[in-house]
Amino acid sequence: MSTVAVEVVYRGIFQKSLARNIVRSIVFAARKEGKIGTAFGRYGDSPERNGIPAKQFAIVADTAEELEENLAVYQAHEVDVTINVDDTLCKGVESWGWYGLEPINKLTKPNGTLIVTSRQSADSLIEDIHQRDEPFNLSIIPAVPSFSGLWVYKDDHTDVRILGTLCKVCPQLVSLASMVEAIKDQGWSDLKITSAEKAFERANDRQVEPGEGTDSVPFSFTLPGWKTMEEGLVIRGQGSGGGFRGGEEGFQPDRNEVFKKWSTRSMRPVVNFETCIKCTLCWLQCPDTCFDITPDGLFDANMEACCGCGVCEAVCPVPECVTMVNEAEFNDNSSQWEAWQVDKDGYKKWMTVLIEKEKLVERTHGFHHVGQYAEEAAQAGDD
């Protein structure tokens, strides 16, 4: 008599097929052992938006009666294993159906496991993960997060590597043999079976103790009741704004106090304040009005409003003045302009290292510069 639940936390659209492959394979494998299961996405995340955090679930039980409690739900109420297929989501999950920022391990049962595909070390990931009162295990699959598109699937074996690891860290779910059968049934190649088996052999985990991780309190807010909510479906407009950080100079718009951004983005702009020519294009073109105008007339991207789209980088006429950098490099939403004010040389060094590093990595999605797609497409044509 038991029920086992698994969630996959992923970037909407880009990793939808990956998440679906994982949750469906779990149910197929469990079926091999006579168990019954369900696979579903969190309805509030759907229809998915590019890159916005989302969840899918697989729940398996010994009997249909046991499974019944887990049907007709928006999401599992707790899970034995959380699978995170983009390590930047270790900072937390924010669905576009806005529930606030939820810690990545929020649903993970005490002594359950968090599986992450990442090139980062355990210590580095744990810095991003919210502390909790009960221990859990962290299992890292060394991999670059696997991103695809709406119509294409990058079959880099991330799905089966996760499934193999899952069988090892959660043996009460299904055996590796059943998982291999489920992989075969889906018509996947023998190579994928090998990848699953290797992942099973190599799987390792490390216990994360209470108190380990970031002590930052995830942003939360109170929903109004029907007696306190304004009638007529009214959303009051924001004020026009005022001086930078409440001062006399500069400008920052008033923003919604509740609807903020953290892990929605997988990249953020890093600004070189020294080469900025104050052309205002980033400020004008940002679809989320995220740039605050500093007292010295520069533009400081406010991370509570930025969704990481990269328009600022694309419109900036100065080379390397705005560069989108992977979120894994950051631990908070603090102001770059303020950091630059405090220590200009330190900021320059920090920024230069980040930008050089960024040039070397392939982005999970999007491009380094305008026209890159056309260049790559032309090159592919030549090949």
Partner 1 sequence: MTIAPAQAELYREEKEELISGSEAIGIACALADVDVITAYPIRPYDTVMQYVSKLKADGVFDCDFIVAESEHSQFEIVKHASAVGARTFCGSSGVGWFYAFEAIAVTAGLRLPVVAMVGNRALDDPGAFGVEHNDALAVRDLGWMLYWVATAQEALDMALLAYKVAEDSRVFLPFALSCDGSFLTHSQAIVNVPTFEQVKQFLPDYDRGKLQLHPDNPITIAPQVNEDWLMEIRRQSDEAMRRSTNVIKEAYEEFKATFGRGDPSPFIEEYMTEDAEIMLVGMGTLALPARVAVRRMREQGKKVGFLRIKFFRPFASEEIQEALSKCKAVAVIDRDYSYGSPANGGVLFNEVRSAMYPATNHPHILNFIAGLGGREVLVRDINEIVDTTQRAIDTGKIEEETTWIAVRE
What distances in angstroms separate CA 193 from CA 116, 180, 198, 248, one per listed residue?
A: 20, 6, 9, 64
* Cβ neighbours of residue 259 closer than 8 Å, sequence gap 6 or more: 98
Do 53 and 82 touch, CB atoms closer than 8 A?
A: no
**Cβ neighbours of 148 (radius 10 Å):** 18
Give the separation between CA 91 and CA 249, rounded to whole angstroms: 33
Instruction: Count the site residues for partner 1 by CB under 8 A.
Output: 26
Q: Which range of residues in 42-50, 86-94, 212-220, 371-379 is near partner 1 by CB under 8 A? A: 42-50
CB 270 within 8 A of CB 310: no
As measured in angstroms, the least distance from the Cβ of 95 to partner 1 is 13
| From 172, 187, 227, 378, residue interacting with partner 1 (rule: CB under 8 A) | 227
32 binds partner 1 (CB under 8 A): no
Mask for 192-211, x = binds partner 1 (CB under 8 A): --------------------
Among 33, 62, 74, 354, binds partner 1 (CB under 8 A): 74
Could you give the CA distance from residue 58 to residue 45 in angstroms, rounded to a whole number?
16
Does 377 contact partner 1 by CB under 8 A? no
Phi, psi (5° rounding) for residue 229? Answer: -70, 140
**Rounded CA gap, 35 and 64, in Å?**
8
Does 108 bind partner 1 (CB under 8 A)? Our answer is no
Q: Is 78 in the site for partner 1 (CB under 8 A)?
A: no
Closer residue to partner 1 (CB): 69 or 356: 69
Q: Does 36 bind partner 1 (CB under 8 A)?
A: yes
For residue 40, state whether it binds partner 1 (rule: CB under 8 A): yes
3 touches partner 1 (CB under 8 A): no
CB 194 to partner 1: min, Å:
25
Q: List the one residue out of 245, 247, 267, 234 whose CA is nearest residue 337.
A: 245
CA-wise closest residue to 13 among 39, 44, 43, 52:
52
Q: Does 72 bind partner 1 (CB under 8 A)?
A: yes
Single out the residue of 71, 191, 277, 318 in contact with partner 1 (rule: CB under 8 A). 71
Answer yes or no whether residue 274 interacts with partner 1 by CB under 8 A: no
Q: What distance in Å separates the CA atoms of residue 60 and residue 83, rounded to the nearest whole number? A: 16
Q: How many residues does the chain have?
A: 383
Binding site for partner 1 (CB under 8 A): 24, 27-28, 31, 36-41, 43, 46-47, 65, 68-69, 71-74, 223-227, 233
